[in-house]
Amino acid sequence: MVSGRSSYAAALGLSVLASSLLSVRAYDNSRSDNVRIYWGQNSYGATGSNTADYQKNLSYYCQDDVINAFPLAFLNVFFGEGGEPSLDLANICSTANDPVFEGTQLPECSFMASNIQTCQNAGKIVTISLGGATGSAGFSNASQAEGFANTIWNLFLGGSSSTRPFGDAVLDGVDLDIEGGSTEYFTNFVSTLRSLMNSGSKSVIDAESFDAVYVQFCEHTEHPYNNYCGLTNYDNSNDWDFSTWDNWAKNTSPNPNVKVYIGAPAASAAAGSGYVDAATLGQIAVDTRNSYSSFGGIMLWDASQAYANDRFDAAVKSSITENGNTAPAPSTTYSSATSTATATPTTAPAPSTTSTPAAPSSSPTGSAGDCAGVATWVANVAYEGGDQVVYNGNLYTAKWWSYADTPGGSAGDWTEDGACGASSDATAVKVAYQSKVAPTNVGPKVAAVPNLSLSSALAAQTAPPSRRNSRFFRY
């Protein structure tokens, strides 16, 4: 499957499944009580001290019927040493702790083959997630994108290569979490991969056909890129726009059977904000399913957090299953005016749960060009929308959540407010919120919380939902 998640940056999770494979496995994409959960980044290890709850081998999470799908996070480098991609699966397999194929930085994780196959034999699907918050993603032209699709096919799916990271295990699809770099030519990547899947033994957002979309909802239109922010405002119709995505699924998506998932953190420590307990999330899911036939289930970040949080995944699954997975909700009709909206969700990185170095607690109150009391920009600090920094003598304001994107750079994360006055005093301000820092070799290796939305470059192909406060999750 090719999946894409809607992070707030391609944190839109999109999912393309191998149709021939699904016919012989228990996974059923047409259901409305599926649970998909990310595995690979040991998110609990970033915030918790109990080593017993650190991420386990994949098969550990496949011993019951709760979880239906696992995106393996992440393939975080597209073109590395030797022209090959690279993987980082935190404390399980990475370049820091495992051997690599000669002439590359692609870790040799073939010991995971039996784990993957165990989960697949139990009726789960396992996909490879591309990108992540620290991922280096992007293509310079259509030919490179199409070539990379063949690389992914040969390394992880139905092709062949002498450098397959997971040995003889054949994954079920691809998850897109493109939070950094350019999203140009991703439609070429997806269409080529879909062709390979359809022609093989296994089988962008608007331009290509996906099987599932993971959506994250944001309640603050002035800060539309804060992760997991909409669930707490579910009762406010202005902040909960699942109908927009239901409309997209029925009137815009090339796949009329696409499923839309609600993305959520599996523990309060798994995201900066927006966590709701399992009972509340389950009720939101049931209410949404009863209203919209495109609803497919719940997507969670991540497996280690869910298990440490009293099996949050199992509690949610129980809620959406016990309340009945009956006939789909009545079909909803949308006016042409609604279905032809042209604005697209803007994408931007989502905050991680890795560590907590210094970062401004709030935006300074100085006017444009007034740098008094404003901190100098620091590369390894995560900034929120509205935060101000000084860089090269100029004042900048963050448009949204930003990490490691230089003010004035091509990423476009910052608005330049003018040159600082001669009397400016760029002093540091107190530590207040979590920021994302590259993992160290001390303690568990972790990575950032994935984003949940699709990139504007992909989304612009046919105009997905126009509400700025929506975000996609992947798959």
Tens digit of each residue's pLDDT (9 = 90 or more) over 439-475: 223 233 333 333 333 333 233 333 333 332 232 333 2
pLDDT digits (tens, 9 = 90+) for 298-321: 999 999 999 999 999 999 999 999
**Nearest CA among 9, 2, 74, 6 for reference residue 452:** 6
Pair (457, 376) in one structural domain:
no
**CA torsion sign, 203 to 209 to 211 to 215?**
positive
The CATH code of the domain that includes 423 is: 2.10.10.20
Residue 441, domain member (yes or no): no
CB 411 within 8 A of CB 399: no
Structure tokens at 357: 């170095």
pLDDT at 164: 98
Q: Yes or no: say if 165 and 108 are a contact pair by the CB < 8 Å rule.
A: yes
What share of the chain in percent tops pLDDT 70?
A: 63
Residue 257 lies in a domain: yes
Residue 284 corresponds to which tokens in the numbers above?
């939101």
Domain shared by 33 and 143, yes or no = yes
Residue 201: band (very low, low, confident or very high) from pLDDT cuts 50, 70, 90 = low
Tell me the DSSP string of 140-204: SSHHHHHHHHHHHHHHHSSS--TT-TTTT----EEEEEE-SS--TTHHHHHHHHHHHHHHSS---
216 has a pLDDT exceeding 80: no
The predicted structure's pLDDT at residue 258: 86
In a domain, 440, yes or no: no
What is the per-residue pLDDT for 18? 54
Q: From CA 340, how far away is CA 414, in angstroms rounded?
A: 30
Lowest average pLDDT, out of 43-47, 66-70, 93-97, 327-331, goes to 327-331
CATH code of the domain covering residue 86: 3.20.20.80
- Is pLDDT above 70 for 121? yes
Residues designated as active site? 179
Q: Please tell me the distance from the alpha carbon of residue 52 to that of residue 98, in angstroms, as a whole number.
A: 22
Residues 250 and 368 in one domain: no
Instruction: Give the structural domain span for 365.
Output: 358-435
- The rounded Cα 340 to chain-centroid distance in angstroms is 26
pLDDT at site 136: 62
Give 358's pLDDT tier (boundaries 50, 70, 90): very low
Q: List b or e across 164-187, with b for residues whose CB sees 16 or more CB atoms inside 10 angstroms.
A: bbbeebbbbbbbbbbbbbebbbbb
Chain mean pLDDT for the chain: 73
Residue 166: inside a domain, yes or no?
yes
Q: Within this chain, do residues 188 and 305 fall inside the same structural domain, yes or no?
A: yes
- My answer on whether 363 and 304 are in the same domain is no
Residues 41 and 65 grouped into a single domain: yes
- Count how many domains the chain has: 2
Residues 6+ apart with CB under 8 A from 298: 34, 35, 36, 261, 262, 263, 264, 281, 285, 316, 320
Same domain, 316 and 375: no
Both 386 and 420 in a single domain?
A: yes
pTM over 0.75: no
Q: Tell me, yes or no, whether 6 lies in a domain.
A: yes
Question: Do residues 469 and 10 touch, judged by C-beta distance below 8 A?
Answer: no
387 and 339 in one domain?
no
Local structure of 86: helix, strand or coil = strand
Query: Distance (Å, rounded) from C-alpha 450 to C-alpha 69?
Result: 16
Residue 344: inside a domain: yes
Clarify whether residues 283 and 152 are in a common domain. yes
Confidence class for position 235, pLDDT limits 50, 70, 90: confident
3-state secondary structure 27-69: CCCCCCCEEEECECCCHHHHHCCCHHHCCCCHHHHHCCCCCCE
Whether 46 is in a domain gets the answer yes
DSSP string for 255-308: -TT-EEEEEEESSGGGSSS----HHHHHHHHHHHHHH-TTEEEEEEE-HHHHHH
Beta strand 173-178 with 125-132 is: parallel
Residue 189 main-chain phi, psi, to 5 deg: -60, -50
State residue 421's pLDDT score.
66
User: What per-residue confidence (pLDDT) applies to 352?
Assistant: 36
Residues 248 and 382 grouped into a single domain: no
Residue 64 has a pLDDT of 97
Place of tokens 């399913």: 289
How does DSSP classify residue 348? Answer: -
Claim to verify: residue 62 and residue 12 sit in the same structural domain: yes
**DSSP secondary structure of 358-405:** ---SS---PPTT--TTPPBP-TTSEE-TT-EEEETTEEEEESS-EES-
Mean pLDDT confidence for 141-162: 97
Structural domain includes residue 17: yes
The residue that leads in pLDDT, 252 or 7, is 252
